[in-house]
Amino acid sequence: MRAVAKLNPTDAGIDIVDIDPPEIRNGDDVIVRVSVSGISGSELNIWRGTYRRPNGTPVERGRILGYEHAGVVADAGEAARAIGFEPGRRVALGSPFIGCRRCEPCQQGLVNRCRDWGHVGITLDGTNCELARLPVEVLQLLSDKVDPLDAAFLNSASLAVRAVARAELTPGDRVVVVGPGPVGLLMLQAARAGGASWVGLVGLEQDARRLEIGKELGADETYVYSDEIAAALRSATDGLGADVVLEAAGTPEGMAAAVDAVRVGGTVVFAGLPPQRIVAIEAIRVTRDELTIRGVEGNLPDDRRRALRLIEDGVLRCRPFVTHQLPIDDVVPAFEAVASGEACKAVFSLNGDVAPV
């Protein structure tokens, strides 16, 4: 069976390898027949050879990539079956992080900060293949009514729901979302679901298609980032600034613009992972305007349950931003489409399970 892997972790490029179908090894193993598996931002950096784990090391050599996915249980160990993961049940990735359950961050529920950090598609084999073996803890059971192309991004949807909760969004708030990628487009929908009265979406010039999708998904206004972005957003909010700003750009400019766009006493939530690590923001505003700045990375089971309900009800939609659906053999064009910004989200279709977008 073919799989997308990384044979030279610090070089640019991607590989197709031939592997044996996985078998159950532990009671909590689930073999998933993958229907759809997406290319995420981390995988783009793995493709470039620039990806580093929190401990500074690259992805392991030969690792099968991919974690955002939806599929069907093909086989499962006894412990997984005991909690409902029977063959034939539909599943999606709930959270890619695997924690030790013992360290301080794990005990707080922040599995993404586990001292013995584990991540599907990075420290264990992922889902860019027809059959994937995953520990049950990373999976979420789905009802039959969910579209696999919506469910595949449950992890991002849960992050968006968590960001809105962390922002303490109040019905009637005006919201700015910076960054029109899949996470930003989910944040915009989650803000709408949370009662935002107005949502502005900010992107770059090359994001024209993403901004258009944002309008379809509920943005009132879209903006192309420029030196005048702060003034434009201020004038759209009666000169006050937004009550809540949700940042999903992961760039120094995007993070600075997020802080500039918020009102006195407002809240900014950062979800971006800027490669520069040190970013300049107008810090004096944080003090004088009593801003609240929070971060969000992982998600908790409660976030996932709420996100899944919103997906099931058609309130959070992912299918509209899946712009490229390709067979696994087209791995190079798929990554190129993501890298150039042409694709908002590219996915691999496997096992003939999902109708074309």
Query: Where do contacts with Zn ion occur on this chain (CB under 5 A)?
Result: 99-100, 103, 106, 114
Is the Cβ–Cβ distance between 160 and 183 less than 8 Å?
yes
First-to-last CA distance in the chain?
25
Nearer residue to Zn ion within complex by CB, 122 or 201:
122
Distances (CA, A) of 224 to 189, 203, 212: 19, 5, 11
Residue corresponding to tokens 């899944």: 308
* DSSP one-letter code for 275: T
| Nearer of residues 99 and 194 to Zn ion, judged by Cβ | 99
CA separation for the pair 139, 156 (Å, rounded): 14
- Kindly give the residue spans of alpha helices, DSSP state H, lying in the chain: 41-48, 78-82, 104-107, 148-151, 154-166, 182-193, 208-216, 229-236, 252-261, 283-288, 301-312, 331-339
Q: Least distance to Zn ion from the beta carbon of 219, Å?
A: 38
Q: How far is the CB of 105 from Zn ion (least distance, A)?
A: 6
Given the complex with Zn ion, which of 39 and 106 has the nearer CB atom?
106
* Shortest Å distance, C-beta 101 to Zn ion: 6
Give the nearer residue to Zn ion in terms of CB position, either 99 or 254: 99
Smallest gap from residue 203 Cβ to Zn ion (A): 36
Phi, psi of 104 (to 5 degrees): -60, -50
Residue with Cβ nearer Zn ion (114 or 132): 114
How far apart (Å, rounded) are the C-alpha atoms in residues 188 and 166?
14
CB of 96 to Zn ion, least distance (A): 15
